[in-house]
Chains A and B, each alone.
Chain A
Amino acid sequence: MAQITLSNLAHSYLAQPKSDADYALKAMDHVWEDGGAYALLGSSGCGKTTLLNIISGLLRPSQGRVLFGDRDVTEAPTAARNIAQVFQFPVVYDTMTVRQNLAFPLRNRGMDPGYIAGRVNHIAAMIGMEERLDRKAKGLTADAKQKISLGRGMVREDVNAILFDEPLTVIDPHMKWELRTQLKSLHREFGHTMIYVTHDQTEALTFADKVVVMYDGRVVQMGTPEELFERPAHTFVGYFIGSPGMNLLSAEVNGAQARVLGGTVDLPASYKASGKVQIGIRPEHVQLTAGDGLPVKINRVEDIGRHRLVRAETAGQSLNIVLPEGASLGPDLTHARFTPEKISVYADDWRIEGVR
């Protein structure tokens, strides 16, 4: 086990990258603490898989170093890095039994048969496959196969890190719950460093202690789920986290008030903002009122079970509002009020701090 350090790392798929735009992964410094559960979150094409492949050694970066602990592994092949990886689609050895599948990484490393047998049984119990150990892997369902992949990733105790590349894509919603909690329990029990790549915010937030949000080849924010939700550092994080994402309104900010098209909004502090200025507020932090706040026009109300989603607009800019289940929606509710301390101010897409 080791801390993973990325130093001045960048990657381009072109042989001679010229501008910033040629880089799939822009220069970054980053440290993955030993034993942490991380998620790498972003939309497809944001560079997250590139980063993962560099860590696993399947790809050599165009520049920069990768360190496992103190050891420079930039040039080391995958096999020499002692990591495990679980892929999007279940990778199992069809002709082997479940037991042989789980034992395979250990057997290849010439471990003691007694140790292998014990370890395989332990892992099989953790992933709930003890009863099917002697079945051929071929006929199993996708989620059972993915469990085997998870188990194979977990079977070696000494791995530096376990990497997950969208491992729950092919799994039904009901099974996702089970596999995700299993992963969390496994992390708690074994304490491996885990890096989980996904485009699904729920998976990322629920799995990780720290979520790394990537956008356009860059890490735009790293933080706990709460930080990402309450204080998105970039408008992309605001949009990407939460469903629906953060409401963003163009504004003119001077001091402790923001002027938007429909009126003024009180801010939690005093700001000096220039460039493209926006204020951001989560749909969860907007209340409908009878007269206080900005005037809104309600277009649609969606009952999505545990809450209601109001699709509204204020002076032509769309505004989503989340109401609790069963909340009443009278015709007198014509305005929307934002909870001041939950408002973020963005200048050129980056969050700025105010002075209290």
Chain B
Amino acid sequence: MEKTVNNKAWFLVLPVLVIVAFSAVIPLMTVVNYAFNDTFGNNQFFWAGFEWFEDTVTSSRMHDALGRQILFSGIILAIEVPLGIFIALNMPKKGFWASFCLVLMALPLLIPFNVVGTIWQIFGRVDIGLLGRTLASLGIDYNYTNDWLDAWITIVVMDVWHWTSLVALLAYAGLQSIPQAYYQAAKIDQASRWAIFRYIELPKMQGVLLIAVLLRFMDSFMIYTEPFVLTGGGPGNSTTFLSIDLVKMAVGQFDLGPAAAFSLMYFLVILLVSWVFYTVMTNMDRENMQ
């Protein structure tokens, strides 16, 4: 539907522009400044050109962090999206239990990130944590502070616990919008359960699922708080994701130049991926309109 064009409406955006300028654009310009200069304190800057960018792009440390990051996002998407759909398919469609499930599903989403990290940090401890103790008593050698695989598993499980609900709720909303007639028609056509999923439910959920994937990708790609609280990036560097690495570089080592260049590229990567998603989605919309 076409909306009326009224150019005066732009003035209403002005306050937001001012606020965004102060809160985002000006700090961002500082980062840009650091990314292209070198400094030894005292507010003295030396032009470094693209040196920091070259360093970052060629640094193996960055490559490793990026690799871990992509692996992590890939794993959690591969688990959370199918699991979320599966949960949505099995949730009650109406009545008391539907509302009950919705509230239950929403709970993990309401917990602050660092609290989630703390919960799992304690939960998984071998000395006092319920999970750690239980596993230990079953004879399983589990220690997320020593073993990189245990650390990974713990972080992945934590993220799945925290965020699968989001995918499930979105998928559930998509499922609810399918008219009953489709299921009735499928019964009459003797479609199998798989065929119903493949030809009715999945196509109708497509739109919300893309949103779910986009949200989960962006969030997981920027993940910081939970692994920082849980493992601090260890053992070794095994759970040092991009944002953790960035903070280590900027705050820990005070390498402001490379960190600034790093964060700019980080930002651009996320922007690029989101843009690709957006384009794909709008194209799909257009197809639907035809």
Report which A residues bind B (CB closer than 8 A): 56, 58, 77-79, 83-85, 87-89, 91, 93-96, 104-105, 108-109, 138-139, 149, 152
A196 to B290, CA, bound (A): 31
Pick the contact of A139 from B185, B191, B199, B287 — CB < 8 Å?
B287
A139, B190: Cβ atoms closer than 8 Å: no
Inter-subunit contact B184/A152 (CB<8 Å): no
Q: A88-B181, A138-B287, A138-B288 are contacts. A93–B199 as well, Cβ < 8 Å?
A: yes
A78 / chain B contacts, CB cutoff of 8 Å? 184, 187-188
Please determine whether B288 and A105 come into contact, CB atoms closer than 8 angstroms. Answer: no
B residues at A contact (CB < 8 Å):
179, 181-182, 184-185, 187-192, 195, 199-200, 203, 287-288, 290
Tell whether, in the assembled complex, residue A85 and residue B290 are in contact, meaning their CB atoms are under 8 Å apart: no
**Closest partner residue, chain B, to A57 (CB atom):** B187
Contacts of A138 in B (CB 8 A): 287-288, 290
Docked-complex contact A139 and B290, CB < 8 angstroms: yes
Q: Whole-angstrom distance from the CB of B21 to the nearest CB of chain A?
A: 44
Known: A91-B182, A95-B199, A96-B199. A104 touches B188 (CB 8 A): no
**A58 surroundings in chain B (CB, below 8 A):** 184, 187
Q: Is the CB of B188 within 8 A of A95?
A: no
| Pick from A87, A94, A105, A139: contact of B189, CB under 8 Å | A105
Whether A89 lies near B189 (C-beta < 8 A) is: no
Closest to A159 in B: B188
CA distance A215 to B200 in the complex (A): 35
A52–chain B nearest beta-carbon distance, Å: 11
Chain B: minimal CB distance from A118 (Å): 19
Closest 7 CB pairs between A and B?
A87-B181, A91-B185, A105-B189, A108-B190, A78-B187, A139-B290, A93-B199
Q: Are B190 and A105 in contact (CB under 8 A)?
A: yes
A93: which B residues are within 8 A, CB to CB?
199-200, 203
Contact of A94 (CB < 8 Å), options: B187, B188, B191, B203: B203
Closest Cβ of chain A: how far from B195's Cβ, in Å?
Answer: 7
Residue numbers in B under 8 Å from A139 (CB-CB): 287, 290
Assess whether A84 is in contact with B288, with CB atoms less than 8 Å apart: no
How far is A354 from B148 in the complex, measured between Cα atoms in Å?
97
A77 touches B187 (CB 8 A): yes
The answer to whether A83 and B188 touch (CB under 8 A), given A96-B199, A108-B195, A139-B290, is yes
Please determine whether B287 and A87 come into contact, CB atoms closer than 8 angstroms: no
Q: Which residues of A contact B195 (CB under 8 A)?
A: 108
* A85 CA to B190 CA, complexed, in Å: 12
